[in-house]
């Protein structure tokens, strides 16, 4: 799922007609890497989403996210000039200063234009202006982005192969053929580099997570929003879990997840296989009035996992400055609990949408 929220909103404004030349996400898709790291223009919506928990040598903690989106607008004619809009490119950048108690974020929207934004498999690059994600020949990734307040320059090295979510090549999100996405993650990316914040430079290390999804339709009208977790445990287990909340207050049965063991073996989780339960601690946004649960219990009985999820920084809400961007909470999380008979800790991210009003989808 994920901050997906921005592209989800864009889909409302650029919904293709029934006969539009876009593929839907159907069972049987066969992934191939590095090909699938890059663009899939035959699908209408696509995103590349990187989050991470990083810290300095003396323990100061940060969270970050750098997200790129491609939203197809037209495929009905050949491009006549560099300024024709066949795709919109969005990007979102955020930094959580977990110990400093501050949250910084920025967003941008561009057309491809003459090299303004785009995706190039040949150079391994996804970019929007001077924000970029680059896959290098040695398999590492480089992230570079900046605002007036902060800058990130990070190098990422994957410790596991890409993880395919769902079953038979699709992550089903609602009833009906094509109400799904092709969805994979790099769940454990060793991370190092620098953060510059308000004139100070910090050397940091930690773990990141990268999601890539592409689809044409996904949610249904009965769904109000979602809660999505990425979890990286210190025993090298990772979890991706999401629940889809329906407007009647129930949890949609198409909620699902994936568990990745230390060796990289994956298991698909159905909605009945896990629970995400909000606890009493919440944060009310002064900007939107939305109340977000920021402490959770995570339980997966089949794998003897029981975790508490908390955040050091309640105010990690992103409020859209354009009509395309809905409001949502996206933040760095800490986890503690039990995996089998062993006490365990970990880090990750939580995204919550539809708390101020339902995320309307077509």
Whether 349 contacts 222, CB under 8 Å: no
> What are 141-155's pLDDT values in tens digits?
999 999 999 999 999
Distance CA 226, CA 8 (A): 12
> What are 280-327's pLDDT values in tens digits?
899 999 999 999 999 999 999 999 999 999 999 999 998 865 555 578
Q: What's residue 12's pLDDT?
A: 38
> What are 152-161's pLDDT values in tens digits?
999 999 999 9
pLDDT band for position 234 (cuts 50, 70, 90): very high
Ordered by where they begin, the domains of the chain are 5-353 (2.40.370.10)
Q: What's residue 213's pLDDT?
A: 97
- Region at 266 (left for phi over 0; alpha for psi -120 to 50; beta for the rest): beta
Which residue is it, tokens 């996206």?
330
Q: What's residue 82's pLDDT?
A: 74
Cβ-count burial 11-42 (b if 16+ within 10 Å, e if not): beebebeeeeebbbbeeebeeeeeebbbbbee
Q: What's residue 312's pLDDT?
A: 97
pLDDT greater than 60 at residue 268: yes
Report residue 6: phi and psi, to 5°. -65, -50
Cβ-count burial 142-158 (b if 16+ within 10 Å, e if not): bbbbeeeebbbebebbb
pLDDT band for position 78 (cuts 50, 70, 90): low
CA distances from 84 to 9, 13, 125, 127, 130 (A): 22, 18, 21, 18, 21
pLDDT band for position 9 (cuts 50, 70, 90): very low
241-262 average pLDDT score: 95
pLDDT greater than 50 at residue 64: yes
pLDDT greater than 60 at residue 17: no
- How many Cα atoms are found within 13 Å in the side-chain-facing hemisphere of 162? 19
Q: What's residue 18's pLDDT?
A: 39
Distance CA 239, CA 229 (A): 8
79-90 average pLDDT score: 81
């Amino acid at each position: 799922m994920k901050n997906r929220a921005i592209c989800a909103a864009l889909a409302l404004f650029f919904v293709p007609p029934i006969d539009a030349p876009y593929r839907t996400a159907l069972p049987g898709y066969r992934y191939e890497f590095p090909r699938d790291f890059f663009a899939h223009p035959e699908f209408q919506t696509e995103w590349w989403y990187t989050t991470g928990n990083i810290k300095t040598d003396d323990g100061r903690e940060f969270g970050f996210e750098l997200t790129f989106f491609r939203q197809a607008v037209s495929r009905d004619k050949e491009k006549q000039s560099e300024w024709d809009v066949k795709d919109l490119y969005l990007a979102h950048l955020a930094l959580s200063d977990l110990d400093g108690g501050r949250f910084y974020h920025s967003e941008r929207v561009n057309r491809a234009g003459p090299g303004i934004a785009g995706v190039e498999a040949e150079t391994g690059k996804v970019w929007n202006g001077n924000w970029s994600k680059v896959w290098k020949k040695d398999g590492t990734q480089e992230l570079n982005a900046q605002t007036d307040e902060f800058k990130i320059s990070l190098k990422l090295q994957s410790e596991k192969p890409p993880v395919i979510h769902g079953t038979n090549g699709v992550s089903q999100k609602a009833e009906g053929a094509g109400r799904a996405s092709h969805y994979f993650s790099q769940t454990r990316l060793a991370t190092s580099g620098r953060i510059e914040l308000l004139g100070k430079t910090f050397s940091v290390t930690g773990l990141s997570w990268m999601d890539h999804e592409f689809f044409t339709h996904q949610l249904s009208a009965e769904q109000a929003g979602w809660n999505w977790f990425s979890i990286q445990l210190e025993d090298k287990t990772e979890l991706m879990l999401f629940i889809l909340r329906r407007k009647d207050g129930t949890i949609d049965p198409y909620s699902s997840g994936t568990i990745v063991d230390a060796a990289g073996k994956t298991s698909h989780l159905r909605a009945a296989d896990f629970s995400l339960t909000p606890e009493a601690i919440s944060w009310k946004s002064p900007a939107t009035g939305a109340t977000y649960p920021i402490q959770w219990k995570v339980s997966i009985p089949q794998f003897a996992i029981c975790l508490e999820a908390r955040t050091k920084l309640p105010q990690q809400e992103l409020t859209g400055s354009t009509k395309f961007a809905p409001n949502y909470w996206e933040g760095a999380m800490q986890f503690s609990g039990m995996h089998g008979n062993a006490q365990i800790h970990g880090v990750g991210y939580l995204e919550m949408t539809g708390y101020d009003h339902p995320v309307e989808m077509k």
